[in-house]
Amino acid sequence: MENKKFNLAQEIELVKEDCLRPTRKWGRSTQIWLGILCCVAAWGLFAFIHQLRHGLGVTAMRNYVSWGLYISTFVFFIGISHSGTLVSAILRITKQEWRRPITRSAELLTFVSLLFGGIMPIIDLGRPDRVLNLVIFGRVQSPLLWDVISIMTYFTGSTVFLYLPMIPDMALCRDRLIVTKTRFDKFRKRLYTFMAIGWTGTKTQWHKLETVMTIMTIVIIPVAVSVHTVVSYIFAMTLRPGWDSTVFGPYFVAGALYSGSAGVILGMAVFRHLYKLEKYITPRHFDLMGRIVLALTLIYAYLNLNEYWIPAYKMATHEGFLLRDLFFGSYSGVFWTLQFGTVLLPIIIMSIPKGRQILPLSITCVIIVIGAWIKRYIIVVPTLLHPYMPIQEVPADWSSYFPNWVEWSVTMGCLSGIFIVITLFSKFFPMMAVWEVEEGLEIEHDRQVALEMKKKREMEKMSQEVTVN
């Protein structure tokens, strides 16, 4: 008994150290990585300023394809943001113990992708200077305003959801940061103290935290579902062939969960490797997450079937015109690669236990994430190129679309912004919820103790029986 307890305390200490280690030093590679990211972000910013000065005309968008890479990326980023909710909230609610080491990175991914996902439509505005008109003259009847409201709600919610379980960890960081000689350390101390909001770990504080976490866990799930449903509505509320679909809400939610949970696996793999968390994020975690992604991919595949097979069976005039282009026309290569390569192939790989090992699963998830991004593009662009009225006698660049350097630069700038925030976060804050992992260890320990007690009692019973006999 005594021995076990000692082990537990030691192990908890080890967890604390393992989690805090990355925040202690900024390695050379981190600096180079951040440097590269900042260069890309600066280039993106330059491209955006160029776009601000000369208008959206510097992009490849024209009057038929009036939405392009920016809006596709918006939908993709918002999709990725579903990861945090799924892993964190759903696994929390279902009391899945194995969730503990991966909740923090999942919630962070939600926070960052929402932050940049929310910026994308503003970048896409012709008049970003008038963005406040949305508040001054906002019409609740417009799907765009639903987006604004639900994304802002979700962003606030997921920020709280990320922050709440960080409070005890912030107190830990505060208490462990003793030597504050440099100005940087002083800044960190102040930051941790501020973010810990006076956490001392009293019973009342724990009780309050747990109550609020339970409420947030329940609230955040419907909010997350509503966000991607509403994102789909900016397309589904139009009369356009390919968008005018009643299945778009669930289709987008499924697509979001499929890409978002794959994003979580990628985050797990990267942080496990970089921050030496192999002990905590184990092959078992990958196997279990792989099963979840498999289930979500199956749901997504099922909704793909509904989205394309139902209109394809009927081939109504305008829908048929779009579908012919997707199935056999100029988009057929991309379309079938997406369906077979990023939906069917991952299903096959993840169905095999070996496919859920760390390396094959991570590669599969890279494929899924990139595939989800391209899929958004294939949802947005071909529909715009297949309007009801024929495209006749227009300037050549109106009737085709491929993003140009401005759009790529701005988008890549935003993507590197995501990586910058994630990197900085991981350098300031522990990437695992220390107290949650601790709690997990305690529960595991208690379980083992109880098991041993039970065994002991049984043994005693048996020996008693033996003596009686």
Partner 1 sequence: MKKENDSESQNENRRKFLKLGLLAGGTLAAGVVGLEKVLSKEEHTTTDKTVMSSDGKMYKTNSKNLKECCAEPVSNEEARKGIAGKKFVMVFDLAKCDGCKKCTDSCQEMHYTEPDREWIKVFKMKDSETTAPYFLPKPCFHCDNPPCTKVCPVNATFKRQDGIVLIDNERCIGCRMCMAACPYSTRFFNWSHPVQTAEVANMKYSPEQGFPRRMGTVEKCDFCPDMLRQGKMPACVSGCPMNVIYFGDQNEDAVTNSSGVTLKLSQLLEDNAGYRLLEDLGTEPRVYYLPPKNRKYAKPDMNKSDGDRKEHKHKDMDMGNMIM
Q: Which two tokens stand for residue 409?
A: 């630069």
Nearest C-alpha neighbor of 272 from the set 69, 22, 17? 22
Among positions 45, 90, 119, 134, the unique one binding partner 1 when judged by CB under 8 A? 134
Say whether residue 384 binds partner 1 (CB under 8 A).
yes
Taking CB under 8 A as the binding criterion, the range among 77-85, 170-178, 232-240, 306-314 that sits at the site for partner 1 is 232-240
Does 333 interact with partner 1 (rule: CB under 8 A)? no
Among 35, 126, 201, 283, binds partner 1 (CB under 8 A): 126
Residue 62 binds partner 1, judged by CB under 8 A: yes
Cβ closer to partner 1: 44 or 242?
Answer: 242
By CB under 8 A, the residues from 141 to 200 that bind partner 1 are 141-145, 148
Q: Which of 28, 139, 181, 203 binds partner 1 (CB under 8 A)?
A: 139
Q: Quick one: which of 12, 41, 56, 162 contacts partner 1 (CB under 8 A)?
A: 56
Stretch that binds partner 1, among 17-25, 109-117, 215-223, 236-244 (CB under 8 A): 236-244
Please identify, using beta-carbon distances, which residue of 194 and 388 lies nearer to partner 1.
388
Q: Which stretch binds partner 1 (CB under 8 A): 257-265, 313-321, 412-420, 456-464?
A: 313-321
Spatial distance between the Cα atoms of 109 and 112, rounded to a whole number of angstroms: 5
Nearer to partner 1, 52 or 450 (CB): 52
Pull the structure tokens for residue 279: 């002990």
* Only segment of 166-174, 287-295, 395-403, 448-456 that touches partner 1 (CB under 8 A): 395-403
Q: What do you get for the CA distance between the two ends of the chain, in Å? A: 30
Sequence-distant (≥ 6) Cβ neighbours of residue 467 within 8 angstroms: none
Q: Given the rule CB under 8 A, which of 110-118, 151-159, 280-288, 397-405 is the region that contacts partner 1?
A: 397-405
Burial label, 136 (beta-carbon count in 10 A; 0-12, 13-18, 19+): exposed
SS3 364: helix
* Alpha-carbon span 202 to 208, nearest angstrom: 10
Which region, left, alpha or beta, applies to residue 276 given φ > 0 means left and ψ of -120 to 50 means alpha?
Answer: left
Stretch that binds partner 1, among 190-198, 318-326, 355-363, 413-421 (CB under 8 A): 318-326
Residue 7 neighbours by CB under 8 Å, 6+ apart: none
Residue 429: φ, ψ to 5°: -125, 150
Check: CB of residue 343 under 8 Å from CB of residue 301: yes
Q: Is 54 in the site for partner 1 (CB under 8 A)?
A: yes
Token code pair at residue 385: 């190129």
Nearer to partner 1, 161 or 243 (CB): 243
Burial class (CB in 10 A: 0-12, 13-18, 19+), 103: buried
Instruction: Name the site residues for partner 1 (rule: CB under 8 A).
Output: 54-59, 61-64, 66-67, 121, 124-128, 130-131, 133-134, 136-139, 141-145, 148, 234-235, 237-240, 243, 317-318, 321, 324-325, 329-330, 384-396, 398-400
